[in-house]
Amino acid sequence: MAAAGRESPISGQPVRDPPRRPPRDGYGVYVYPNSFFRYEGEWKGGKKHGQGKLLFKDGSYYEGEFVDGEITGEGCRLWASSGNTYSGQFVLGEPQGRGVMKYKAGGHYEGELSHGLREGHGRLVDRDGQAYWGSFHNNQRHGRGHMVFRNGDKYEGDWVRDQRQGHGVLCRADGSTYEVPGDVAGPQALGGPLGSLCHSSILMGYLGAVPPPRGAGRAATLGPQRWTWGLPARPGSLGRENCGVR
């Protein structure tokens, strides 16, 4: 019997006790035998198909499109364990394609994903407002990318497995410019394992003085407040007016 005064938030239809078997076609509610999953939405041929909402016993849920029983299409997902949410494209239950991931701890990612990981091109912003946009691989910054720090410094260059490695240029907020040649790696290349996003305080540990501090690589002046790291300056090196960071 229909529960008096209760309506489905999706369809507006009266809520009935879930059947023991999945509905065949149309709209219906079904609680799975393990009681961990509850589905409310459209069915076709005994499978979830169309618009619906799948609720998990731990408080997680997915709401959006289903195809032949699978989470596939456009939808929104909440993970109760982390508090993170994702809105965008799904394939077989995983975020895949384009979408927006919002992190409970702060920050968000907007761009391409594959099997739930950042893959391709996108923009990542941390809780402090520092932003990276460029290439990702296996959930890490990898390839060419730009980064803007909260103190106004800007970096453009190569990244390898979440580290700045290869050629890069740092334009500081005070107008000074630093260039890293492509064959320099490690701390001299402004790199190192810095976590999900590099914080400017860590970066300034390497770039806290002009000229650079001892042990941070050789430096050669490129003109007023301009330095190249790791190798002597080359004629015609990148100038402040053409730092390559936009």
Contact 163, 191 (CB under 8 A): yes
**pLDDT for res 106:** 95
Contact 85, 102 (CB under 8 A): yes
pTM to 2 decimal places: 0.68
Cα–Cα distance for residue pair 57/80, rounded to 1 Å: 10
Domain residue limits, the chain: 26-144
Number of C-alpha atoms within 13 angstroms, CB side, residue 145? 27
**pLDDT for res 114:** 97
Contact 173, 151 (CB under 8 A): yes
In degrees and rounded to multiples of 5, residue 50 shows phi and psi of: 110, -145
**pLDDT for res 9:** 59
Task: Please give the chain's pLDDT, 246 residues, in tens.
Answer: 444 445 655 556 666 655 578 899 999 999 999 889 999 999 999 999 999 999 999 999 999 999 999 999 999 999 999 999 999 999 999 999 999 999 999 999 999 999 999 999 999 999 999 999 999 999 999 999 999 999 999 999 999 998 888 899 999 999 999 887 765 444 334 433 333 333 333 333 233 323 343 334 333 333 333 333 333 333 333 333 333 333
Q: Which fold has domain 26-144?
A: 2.20.110
| Chain position carrying tokens 């946009």 | 133
Strand partners, 229: 219
Ranges assigned E (strand) in the chain: 26-31, 37-44, 47-56, 61-67, 70-78, 85-91, 94-102, 108-114, 117-125, 131-137, 140-148, 154-160, 163-171, 177-180, 219-223, 226-229
Cα–Cα distance for residue pair 52/49, rounded to 1 Å: 8
Cα–Cα distance for residue pair 93/54, rounded to 1 Å: 11
**pLDDT for res 180:** 77
**pLDDT for res 244:** 36
Cα–Cα distance for residue pair 223/240, rounded to 1 Å: 9
